[in-house]
Amino acid sequence: MMRVLLLIVLGWLVYMLIKRAFFSTHATNSTRQQAKPEAEQKFVQCVNCGMHVPESESIKKDELVICNNPDCNKTP
């Protein structure tokens, strides 16, 4: 019984070592790509509904910021 448990543990250790050796390079590359922050965007608040949206997705009318929601665009 002890031999079976020892073989299972050794097999698991070998599996983990092989897995780490082959997949460690791919894992580090993907985590590095995810860790890079994208260009930060400034968020602005819509004067009609109060929702915060990225400045690139907002509409400016007479110095007022309006979100891209169709209901907010209807107001003069």
- Tell me the C-alpha to C-alpha distance, in Å, between residue 64 and each of 13, 47, 50, 76: 63, 7, 12, 11
CA distance 42 to 60: 14
The pLDDT of residue 70: 82
Read off the pTM.
Answer: 0.44
The pLDDT of residue 4: 93
pLDDT (tens place) for every residue of the chain, 76 residues total: 899 999 999 999 999 998 888 876 655 555 555 555 566 788 999 888 888 988 888 888 888 888 888 888 775 5
Say which DSSP state 52 is in.
E
The pLDDT of residue 63: 83
